[in-house]
A and B are shown apart, each in its own frame.
Chain A
Amino acid sequence: MSSTENNGSLTKATLGSSIVAGIVLVLFILPAEYNIDPTGVGKALGLTVFNEQGEVTQGAQQSGDSANQSVVLTVPAGKGIEYKLSMNKFEKVTYEWQTDGGDLYVDLHGEPAGDTTGYFESYTIGTLPEMKGSFTVPFDGSHGWYWKNKTDKSINIQLSFSGEYIVEGLK
């Protein structure tokens, strides 16, 4: 193989290429692929939306009060996803969801705004193919669903909801 490299420039090339790779990894690739974002650059650029937990096919309406919204979510085999709404104390949401086949473990719960202890309050827990209802939240914060797919095939959820909230989306 032909080359014009000497030892010094070869070392420089190898080191340089690995340093560039490391920087690109930390700034862009890891945030986009795995939601690992130590610098915050990934989030600032909006790259963390692809986090591995699931994929969204989302309706055109993004936010708003009382609007009826609907999203299709995919829960990969053996994994869990969260879909959250930001709500103020005593606000209410009416919802309905169903899978395209198969039961999902679900935990409808809320996390208080600003809490860092990991505390959450569950409103409903079950393993079901569909569910409908409403909830009025007892505190300001992030409220919504955790679904876990315990089967070996991915399951789609059609979720619709209306009420007072700001969509936080997939977590």
Chain B
Amino acid sequence: MALVSIEAFAHGVDDSTRNFLQSNTGVQILPFMYIGAKHMVTGYDHLLFLVGVLFFLRRSKDVLLYVSMFTVGHSLTLMSGVLGGIQVNAYLIDAIIGLSVVYKGFDNLGGFKKVFGVQPNPKAAVLIFGLFHGFGLATKIQEFHLPSDGLVANLIAFNVGVELGQFMALMFILLGINYWRRHSSFNKFARVTNIALMSAGFMLVGMQLTGYFIN
């Protein structure tokens, strides 16, 4: 019999991963790293935010700094969220993550300076939104009621995987942006991309808020 299975990806965790997460016991470094990496690579909301963050960073020193801020932020809340058993409504967290994408697109278009006359500290913004992204991850992981045996080591492995996945995704994003930066169409490309980012962010917010209100 030909079997067709419909898997839901996005911010969630697909079925085979779910089975693994619920039935695993003890310390399993590599599988958890793999899940973390996969989550990051397939988590379009994180990636959209990173596209926004990286957009106008030219120097690799800046890239490293901003990505580290994001990493510190989401690692903190991922670990403390799971270990402290802090439950936040997943839809609301994901709506805020959507908002972070809108924020970054608007910021890249120079919106805060133009409309409000101030430029909020972009490093602080990345750190703060990183904290929310980490809460999103923590909330997802907690839905699986992971066995406490080996939990800390597994979480650290998951987090390392998230960073590896982020690193891989970043390479592609940076390649794309740097390629365009050398062309005269970059300013136009930048404008269109950041407007598209805002739009995608609004979609995420709308989708998650709808989910919140109907569930």
> What's the nearest-Cβ distance from chain B to residue A72, in Å?
8
Complex Cα spacing A30 to B213, Å? 13
Complex Cα spacing A16 to B106, Å? 12
User: A114-171: which residues lie under 8 A (CB-CB) from chain B?
Assistant: 152-154
The answer to whether residues A30 and B207 also contact, given A14-B111, A17-B195 and a CB cut-off of 8 A, is: yes
Would you call A20 an interface residue if the criterion is a C-beta within 8 Å of the partner chain's C-beta atoms?
Answer: yes
Q: Is the CB of A21 within 8 A of B108?
A: no
Complex Cα spacing A139 to B139, Å? 47
Enumerate chain A residues within 8 angstroms of B4, measured Cβ to Cβ: 57-58
Q: How many A-B residue pairs have CB under 8 A?
A: 100
Q: Is the CB of B111 within 8 A of A29?
A: no
Enumerate chain B residues within 8 angstroms of A3, measured Cβ to Cβ: 108-110, 114, 191
A-side interface residues, number (CB < 8 Å):
35
1/0 per position for A46-90, CB-CB distance to B under 8 A?
Answer: 000010000111111000000000100010000000000000000
Q: Is the CB of A29 within 8 A of B206?
A: yes
Enumerate chain B residues within 8 angstroms of A5, measured Cβ to Cβ: 109-111, 114, 191
Q: Which residue of B lies closest to A152 (CB)?
A: B145
Would you call B210 an interface residue if the criterion is a C-beta within 8 Å of the partner chain's C-beta atoms?
Answer: yes
1/0 per position for B196-215, CB-CB distance to A under 8 A?
Answer: 10111111001100110010
Q: Is the CB of A22 within 8 A of B202?
A: yes
User: A21-41: which residues lie under 8 A (CB-CB) from chain B?
Assistant: 21-22, 24-25, 29-30, 33-34, 36
Complex Cα spacing A58 to B5, Å? 7
Q: Is the CB of A50 within 8 A of B207?
A: no
A21 partner, pick from B18, B111, B199, beta carbons under 8 A? B199
Would you call B171 an interface residue if the criterion is a C-beta within 8 Å of the partner chain's C-beta atoms?
Answer: no
> What's the nearest-Cβ distance from chain B to residue A118, in Å?
19
Enumerate chain A residues within 8 angstroms of B206, measured Cβ to Cβ: 21-22, 25, 29-30
Q: Which residue of A lies closest to B119 (CB)?
A: A1
The answer to whether residues A50 and B115 also contact, given A13-B109, A25-B203, A30-B210 and a CB cut-off of 8 A, is: no
Would you call B118 an interface residue if the criterion is a C-beta within 8 Å of the partner chain's C-beta atoms?
Answer: no
Enumerate chain B residues within 8 angstroms of A45, measured Cβ to Cβ: none
Enumerate chain A residues within 8 angstroms of B175, measured Cβ to Cβ: none
Q: Is the CB of B198 within 8 A of A18?
A: yes
Q: Is the CB of B115 within 8 A of A33?
A: no
Q: Is the CB of B8 within 8 A of A50?
A: yes
Would you call B187 an interface residue if the criterion is a C-beta within 8 Å of the partner chain's C-beta atoms?
Answer: yes
Q: Is the CB of B109 within 8 A of A10?
A: yes
Q: Is the CB of B115 within 8 A of A10?
A: yes
Would you call B56 an interface residue if the criterion is a C-beta within 8 Å of the partner chain's C-beta atoms?
Answer: yes
Complex Cα spacing A45 to B2, Å? 24
For this complex, 28 residue pairs linking A to B, each with C-beta atoms less than 8 Å apart, are A1-B108, A1-B110, A2-B190, A3-B108, A3-B109, A5-B109, A7-B114, A10-B114, A10-B115, A13-B195, A16-B195, A17-B196, A17-B199, A18-B198, A18-B199, A20-B199, A24-B203, A25-B207, A25-B210, A33-B211, A50-B6, A50-B8, A55-B5, A55-B15, A57-B4, A57-B5, A58-B3, A59-B1
Instruction: Mark B residues whose CB is within 8 Å of A.
Output: 1-8, 15, 18, 22, 56, 105-111, 114-115, 119, 122, 145, 187, 190-191, 195-196, 198-203, 206-207, 210-211, 214
Instruction: Mark A residues whose CB is within 8 Å of B.
Output: 1-7, 10, 13-14, 16-18, 20-22, 24-25, 29-30, 33-34, 36, 50, 55-60, 70, 74, 152-154
Apart from A10-B111, A60-B1, what 14 extra A-B contacts exist at CB < 8 Å?
A3-B110, A3-B191, A13-B198, A14-B198, A17-B105, A21-B201, A21-B206, A25-B206, A30-B210, A34-B210, A36-B214, A56-B6, A58-B4, A74-B15
